Structure 1
Amino acid sequence: MVNVERLQALETWIKTTNTKITQVKGQRKYGGPPEVWDGPLPGLNCEVFISHIPRDTYEDLLIPLFSSVGPLWEFRLMMNFSGQNRGFAYAKYGSAKVAKNAIRCLNGSMLAPGVRIFVCPSSEKRKIYLTPLSTTIRKDDLLQELRKMVEGVESLSLMSGPETMTMSAVVVFSSHYMASIAKRTLGQAFLKRFGVCISIQWKCPEKVNDELHLPEKSESFPASTPKFSELAQHMAEISQMPHPAPQNPSFISAAFCGAVGEPLVPKSATCPPTAALSVSPVIFLQNCCAVSGLGLPQFEFIYNYAQPDEVYHFDYKVRVPGLGVFPGQIMISPGPNDTATLERAREAAAQQLLQSVIGLKVFIR
């Protein structure tokens, strides 16, 4: 639900301060630069990424906060059609020094009771990858067509595609903003103009994520038909078994909520069977398999891509020996290191499997 009082406060602030904010395709932008700007043009490492923003928090609170460490060259708040923000934003300063100071001073700031924002360097991705393309395509022709369809194209290079007899294109844009617009619109533009479906990604389709080093898979799980009814029966039995009370009875784990994309809410708001509250989804699933006389679940992950808001997309397969292979897709926020990121991926995959079988949705670690 949209907070009407907060929207009214935003409108009052805009009128009082005469601040100009422009709505541009899913985001609201201030500056770029603002009308009065006497600082240098931003270079590398001048932008910060802000996440965990309360959904009813707007520019009337955010712009003054991020201006407190130095003049803002640009501020972009990502928005939903509902009128709520999407939980993340970007702030750009005139120098890398000011941006670094913003991270030091503002990371962990509390904008709502119990909710702290996360501020870190923005990746400012300017490359997108297009695949699959015909091997007969000419670089100059494709570059010319791309500049007709989208703005900000600086350069283009071609390389062998991940599929046999295909090519991939690496397109470099003048800014992350231009690249993100192209990523959203080029797929439809290619289909309309050439009748061709292409995949558009932030990461090279031939590589695993350069920043996340996943372990090599020891085996490839073949597709099979898992016995959902049998698994559901054992899970239902486990859910009735008593477990110790959770260590933190007040709130669901923030790390886990981030892993599965759920908001941080009081336990009383969504209270599943008590058996699910004291263990992680992975441990709960392992308990189900152990009681059922099955082998321990094995997880396989394939990295797909990351969204601009630093959300990783994975395909997964969970193999339960004696039952079959359960495939699916998850989105997780990255952890502080590779090990933590993989643990979040395992929890999200186990959570999704448990929810699909017996409807267990919320877990406390």
Structure 2
Amino acid sequence: METQQNQVLNPESLAALEFWVQKTATKLVQVNGQRKYGGPPPGWNGPAPGPGCEVFISQIPRDVYEDKLIPLFQRAGSLYEFRLMMNFSGQNRGFAYAKYGDPQSAAAAIRFLHRHELQQGAQLAVRRSTEKRQLSLGDLPTSVDQERLLRVLRGLSEGVEAVFLKCEKGGKKNTASVHYTTHYTASMAKKVLCEAFRKKFGITITVKWLSFSTKPRQDEEDQGEMSPTLRSFPKPPPKPRPQPPRHALAPPDAMALLRRVCELFKVGAPLYDLQYLHTGSNGFLYFAYRVVIPDIPLPFTGVAQILPGTSAPTLRDEVQRTAAERVLKCIFQA
């Protein structure tokens, strides 16, 4: 085992990290497969950063550590937190998260450090973190109600913001989407909820990210794809209502217009992240949307209320169109 570890780890890199930690008195804390700096760091006086302040860093050489990464990313602005994902061997897993005090610093990190050559032939990839905050809980007993589940989850994990319980008709199990205040609290909950439910209630549940992506990234377990794929959308009604041809009454395509506006201002193509929340008593489907435009610091978020369509792609298009219309209003409002 020792021989294998020596082959994996670079002694010079480890020595440089240890020297840097002692010289700068930097405190690094190992927590659940990641090594964390800050959150907040010493001397931080302001509030915790809000949305749009975190970047995702990938393609990190496996023998590069915080002594190289933290000073580099501090050039873009004051770091609130830096998390490097680690293997049990002591080797990094090739990706990390840097959270800044404001969205402008995060945007600067993407602008100046994306494709930065850390070593010869090794360029970093830096992009905005989607900061996923929703978990999907499966195999819940049918006897549980939404309010009780909310109380239970708040007792087992920190940062629970809201719970939406989905009761399957005729099913033996229920599912729920749980919204957390931060990506970090959601990530920590994801690691402990299965075992907590097994110990406290003697039941086995499933816990996964609430995501509509069908192709997760290879080097990244926490970072979600900004994908409009609606794998988890509710099944459409079996007898769709007839509708007039779209060309007869369809308004101008808001998605195409938003894409064109982004091209004109050279801010990058809009990316849509859509998540089904629940079905209202009025029959409407409620979806949370998040539209990220790469060179605009903060994402556009909201909730869309949609009538059931004939298929999942139709629902996807309808939610995206509604989101695009809202974004255009925000951009052009007086």
- TM-score computed with the length of structure 2 as normaliser: 0.61
The one-letter code of the counterpart of 1:70 is G
Give the structure 1 partner of residue 111 of structure 2. Answer: 104
Give the structure 1 partner of residue 56 of structure 2. Answer: 49
4+ runs of 1 displaced by more than 6 Å? 258-261
Give the structure 1 partner of residue 222 of structure 2. Answer: 308
User: Relative to structure 1, is the Cα distance of residues 37 and 87 closer, same or farther in structure 2, using a 3 angstrom cutoff?
Assistant: same
For structure 1, which segment, 90-99 or 38-47, has the greater mean C-alpha deviation from structure 2 after superposition? 38-47
Give structure 1 stretches of 5+ with no counterpart. 215-257, 262-305, 313-335, 339-365
Give the structure 1 partner of residue 14 of structure 2. Answer: 7
Please state if 1:70 is matched with 2:77: yes
Give the structure 2 partner of residue 166 of structure 1. Answer: 173
Give yes or no for contact 1:40–1:95 (8 Å, CA) kept in 2.
no
The one-letter code of the counterpart of 1:114 is G
- TM-score computed with the length of structure 1 as normaliser: 0.56
Give yes or no for contact 2:9–2:91 (8 Å, CA) kept in 1.
yes
User: Relative to structure 1, is the Cα distance of residues 64 and 31 closer, same or farther in structure 2, using a 3 angstrom cutoff?
Assistant: same
What whole-Å deviation, never above 9, does each CA across 1:291-341 have from its counterpart, x for those lacking one? xxxxxxxxxxxxxxx8314589xxxxxxxxxxxxxxxxxxxxxxx999xxx
Give the structure 2 partner of residue 91 of structure 1. Answer: 98
The one-letter code of the counterpart of 2:221 is Q
Aligned residue pair count? 222
Give the structure 1 partner of residue 186 of structure 2. Answer: 179
User: Relative to structure 1, is the Cα distance of residues 89 and 259 closer, same or farther in structure 2, using a 3 angstrom cutoff?
Assistant: closer
Shift of 1:164: 2.9
Determine the C-alpha separation between the residues in 2 that align with 1:198 and 1:64.
42
**Which of 151, 160, 168 is matched with 1:153 structurally?**
160
Give yes or no for contact 1:132–1:161 (8 Å, CA) kept in 2.
no
Determine the C-alpha separation between the residues in 2 that align with 1:5 and 1:163.
61
Give the structure 2 partner of residue 323 of structure 1. Answer: none
What whole-Å deviation, never above 9, does each CA across 1:193-231 have from its counterpart, x for those lacking one? 222221212125xxx43xx6x9xxxxxxxxxxxxxxxxx
Give yes or no for contact 1:126–1:176 (8 Å, CA) kept in 2.
yes
Shift of 1:124: 0.5
Identity, % of aligned pairs? 48
Give structure 2 stretches of 5+ with no counterpart. 1-7, 227-268, 272-334
For structure 1, which segment, 24-33 or 131-140, has the greater mean C-alpha deviation from structure 2 after superposition? 131-140
**Which of 196, 201, 207 is matched with 1:194 structurally?**
201
Aligned-residue CA RMSD (Å): 2.7
SS at match of 2:51: coil
**Which of 147, 171, 174 is matched with 1:140 structurally?**
147
Give yes or no for contact 1:132–1:163 (8 Å, CA) kept in 2.
no
Give the structure 2 partner of residue 362 of structure 1. Answer: none
Determine the C-alpha separation between the residues in 2 that align with 1:337 and 1:176.
22
The one-letter code of the counterpart of 1:182 is A
User: Rg bigger for which structure?
Assistant: 1
Determine the C-alpha separation between the residues in 2 that align with 1:48 and 1:107.
10
What whole-Å deviation, never above 9, does each CA across 1:43-81 have from its counterpart, x for those lacking one? 110000001111111000000000011110111111111
What whole-Å deviation, never above 9, does each CA across 1:237-274 have from its counterpart, x for those lacking one? xxxxxxxxxxxxxxxxxxxxx9877xxxxxxxxxxxxx
**Which of 35, 38, 43 is matched with 2:42 structurally?**
35
Give yes or no for contact 2:177–2:210 (8 Å, CA) kept in 1.
no
Give yes or no for contact 1:45–1:99 (8 Å, CA) kept in 2.
yes
The one-letter code of the counterpart of 2:222 is P
Determine the C-alpha separation between the residues in 1 that align with 2:217 and 2:54.
25
The one-letter code of the counterpart of 1:180 is S
Shift of 1:39: 4.8
Determine the C-alpha separation between the residues in 1 that align with 2:169 and 2:121.
45
The one-letter code of the counterpart of 2:153 is L
